[in-house]
Structure 1
Amino acid sequence: ERQIIDLAGLIQPELIPIIRDEAGIKLYLTNANADYLVVFRDWYPGLVDYGVVEENFTIPSLAGTEMVEIRKLR
């Protein structure tokens, strides 16, 4: 069974205070034993070296396209 950790804080409101603190997010994900991170690359530039990219793809957005990365954390 896999659980989802919502970095926007909608499901886990305890993330709201650290929503832009990338070091805090890394610590939270480590403490939560997260296996994967799925993230918009440009939203969290401090996480680009966190884990190993398993897959990336672009999706359309109002600004053109956005890069999504799936990163294996452990």
Structure 2
Amino acid sequence: MTKKEFSRAYEIAKSDKEINAELHIFDGFGLPDYEPVYTTLEAVAKLIRYQTFRLDGSVDSKSLHELATIGRKKFMVLG
């Protein structure tokens, strides 16, 4: 996943758009033996919401950075 794709996914995550995507393909994405997956921007956006958004609406910047770092090598965005 490129920086541009991650930025687009982040913008989708910040919006009020309802995202219908499955997150099970990301199970264990932080583990060393996690294999790269093909995914969509919407699925990455939903993962960003799940992993980095707090209940008060703020964003955990450390988690966001970790997700972007892992995503560069492990997420291949289709479309």
TM-score (norm. length: structure 2): 0.27
Decide which structure has greater strand share. Answer: 1
Bigger relative CO (Cα 8 Å, ≥ 6 apart): 2
Answer 1 or 2: which has greater helix percent: 2
Q: TM-score, normalised by structure 1?
A: 0.28
